[in-house]
A and B are shown apart, each in its own frame.
Chain A
């Protein structure tokens, strides 16, 4: 067993373990906004680990280029999707995403008693 094979095996199992743990996280966590956080490790740790494994196994060929495209898409996708989902949940809950009266959120100025229409 060469060093490259061992490295590939370790990276693949790191990616699989990350996915399994994060999937358990979205079931175990109670609050919706906590669940959203568990999508991040999958789109960062697992994808980069698989990219490294593909590069070790096949070098910088067609597979590695396509895999890096997938990594970029998943990186950006998760950030935008998590934000859009969190915002949608807040709008669904409160009718607007800005802070409600009396709710303290740093860096976001409060609305002055105006309630947004649904």
Chain B
């Protein structure tokens, strides 16, 4: 167990408020919870990859960062007028 794995275990708890924000409140406030969760999981994947010493898994975090960005933009665009 190293500081990276310990830190990622603690970082998991940061997803609880993101879940609360996503399941409660106005539509746009839920979107903020989703976007924040996307960033937190990106950092989580980085810390797990570093903690386990597997450099190849950084690609997962990079892919998620890009996809969460695209997904958030599409959501924001649809929530503007259509949903």
The interface of chain B, by Cβ under 8 A from chain A, is 3-4, 7, 10-11, 13-18, 20-21, 26-29, 31-33, 35-36, 39-40, 42-43, 46-47, 49-50, 55, 58-59, 61-62, 65-66, 68-69, 72-73, 76-77, 79-81
Is B35 touching A24 in the complex (CB atoms < 8 A)?
Answer: no
Q: Is the CB of A50 within 8 A of B81?
A: no
Cβ–Cβ < 8 Å partners of B65 in chain A: 70, 73-74, 77
Partner of A32, one of B4, B7, B15, B29: B29
Known: A50-B46, A70-B58, A85-B32. A27 touches B21 (CB 8 A): yes
Q: Determine if A118 and B10 form an interchain contact, defined as CB atoms under 8 angstroms apart.
A: no
A71 to chain B, nearest CB (A): 9
Interface presence of A92 (CB below 8 A): yes
Q: In terms of DSSP, what is the predominant structure of the interface of chain B? A: helix
- Count of A-B residue pairs with CB < 8 Å: 137
Asked if A111 lies at the interface with its beta carbon under 8 angstroms from chain B, I say: no
Contact of A15 among B28, B33, B43, B66 (CB under 8 A): B43
**Total residues of chain A contacting the partner, CB 8 A:** 48
Shortest CB–CB separation between residue A85 and chain B, in angstroms?
5
Q: A81-B73, A88-B76 are in contact. Are A38 and B11 (CB under 8 A)?
A: no
A interface list, Cβ under 8 A from B: 8-9, 12-13, 15-16, 19-20, 22-24, 26-27, 32, 35-36, 38-39, 42-43, 46-47, 50, 53-54, 57-58, 61-63, 66-67, 69-70, 73-74, 77-78, 80-81, 84-85, 87-89, 91-92, 118
Are B42 and A39 in touch, CB under 8 angstroms? Answer: no
Min CB distance A4 to B, Å, is 12
- B33 touching A26, Cβ below 8 Å: yes
Q: Which residues of the other chain, B, contact A20 by a CB distance below 8 angstroms?
A: 10-11, 13-14
